[in-house]
Structure 1
């Protein structure tokens, strides 16, 4: 059985015209005519009645058309399914981030659009996140305040502002804002030196000529929150990075250089890899 002949007949039966059937199949009209004639000649059956301007089905043609419509309908359905699957991404993607609050919505969009992608997420501070990307331990990194450099592709995302973290009963808890200069001599709980929140605070304090006292250094924002709640000192956190805690409150800081952009980064030479490009597109 010649499927090309059957496909040509099916197209003529659907379109009621050799010309439109040829357009449907992207072949010439003589080719369609030849396929149908060959089919009829091979099986010694008349399938179509050809008029001056019209084409109609014989009873045998109607019976065959009911079969070919089902046959090629399934073929078209299979083609559509395969085309859709070709657009579905799969594989593994390694991401490093210094802000879980910023990266999780991006991962949620990735899961929604491409559920076949398996993500390995590494959380750390800004320096360790950048180091992991430059060492090619991860494919994509979400970093706070990454400086442009050769070989690094950066895409700005949102921006956060440094807030003062206080225990709920602190005298400043009800203030609309606190100036960085007021941190002079205040006991502080800070992240490790590679943390962007610490670097941002230290830079702002230099501008304001303020010298707070570092009372405790911890390795995570969660630990900062626990230490501040325990009365071990004041802390700082970027807006949007603190989970609700009835023991704590935040107050805006006033000073220079307190706003920090979040950047999505990859190695420039890997920017056009399909999976990495998709992540950047989803990030918007």
Structure 2
């Protein structure tokens, strides 16, 4: 079955004219005539009655026209859907992030610019977020301290600093310029689990500076650390991009080497030219 022949027949059936059908298909009128003639000859069937003034469908032509109208109508729907995606009028973007604080403003910008795009956001720790991207369960990901690797495209976003989280009444709460890392030696602390990026950066800085805090609690979420600090169980650490507006606690920069984290947005290298992924990268603040 020749789809070009069927497409020509469908155009004539819709337009009722060889001339208009040719214009619809952007081909010449003789080409339309040739396609339909070949179709009729191959199947030994008369589909159209040609008169000097008009073109009419035969009974068999009417039956075929119902089929081709449905068939090419679906093709046109598919084309419209794909075109809408290309123009970012519709579409779905799978996003992963290792925290909500940096990704939410980006999603807000995406919504303003492309209101027809649906976003599915999955939040997890650093390892889960990277795994979601590498397994292609996420189209793009907002990541922290990821090393370059083959097949992964990364773009820098910004940097954040590790801060001490203390109760609002703590003497350090008013030290806006920060506290030296050495001041945390032997201080009782409540920290995230060792796999946390913030915890890992803090631990590495402490090792380099020969600072030994006393870790009383290890907790599995930022919220738990905030509650523990508010309850005066110890001093916590938090990234400067994750500071909450909780009046019970205060975040104070820690002064020292190695207390900075790099944040970035990533996608698989082979997918970086996809229109929707490019749009998301384009909206991301570059730092």
| 1:228 alignment counterpart | 229
1:53-202 to structure 2, matched below 5 A, reads 87-175=87-175, 176-202=177-203
Residue 106 of structure 2 aligns to a residue whose secondary structure is helix
Provide the C-alpha distance between the structure 2 equivalents of 1:134 and 1:236, rounded to a whole number of angstroms: 29
Contact 1:128 1:194 in 2 (8 A): no
Residue 199 of structure 1 aligns to a residue whose secondary structure is helix
| 2:215 alignment counterpart | 214
| 1:59 alignment counterpart | none
User: Deviation digits for residues 165-223 of structure 1, max 9, x if unmatched?
Assistant: 00011122222321111111111111122211101100110111011121111121111
Kindly state the Cα deviation for residue 86 of structure 1 after the two structures are TM-superposed.
5.6
TM-score, L = length of structure 1: 0.68
Q: 1:194 to 1:89 in 2, by over 3 A?
A: farther
Residue 172 of structure 2 aligns to a residue whose secondary structure is helix
| 1:249 alignment counterpart | 250
Provide the C-alpha distance between the structure 2 equivalents of 1:88 and 1:149, rounded to a whole number of angstroms: 29
Q: 1:271 to 1:84 in 2, by over 3 A?
A: closer
Contact 1:167 1:173 in 2 (8 A): yes
Kindly state the Cα deviation for residue 84 of structure 1 after the two structures are TM-superposed.
8.3
Provide the C-alpha distance between the structure 1 equivalents of 2:242 and 2:214, rounded to a whole number of angstroms: 23
| 2:267 alignment counterpart | 266
Provide the C-alpha distance between the structure 1 equivalents of 2:121 and 2:101, rounded to a whole number of angstroms: 13
| 1:280 alignment counterpart | 281
User: Deviation digits for residues 32-85 of structure 1, max 9, x if unmatched?
Assistant: xxxxxxxxxxxxxxxxxxxxxxxxxxxxxxxxxxxxxxxxxxxxxxxxxxx988
Which shifted more, 85-94 or 127-136? 85-94
Residue 242 of structure 2 aligns to a residue whose secondary structure is coil
Contact 1:126 1:143 in 2 (8 A): yes
TM-score, L = length of structure 2: 0.68
Kindly state the Cα deviation for residue 90 of structure 1 after the two structures are TM-superposed.
2.0
Gaps of 5+ in 1: 6-82
Gaps of 5+ in 2: 1-15, 21-82
Q: 1:85 to 1:99 in 2, by over 3 A?
A: closer
| 2:238 alignment counterpart | 237
Kindly state the Cα deviation for residue 127 of structure 1 after the two structures are TM-superposed.
1.9
Provide the C-alpha distance between the structure 2 equivalents of 1:127 and 1:191, rounded to a whole number of angstroms: 14
Contact 2:162 2:237 in 1 (8 A): yes
What's the C-alpha RMSD, in Å, of the aligned pairs?
Answer: 2.5
Which shifted more, 89-98 or 155-164? 89-98
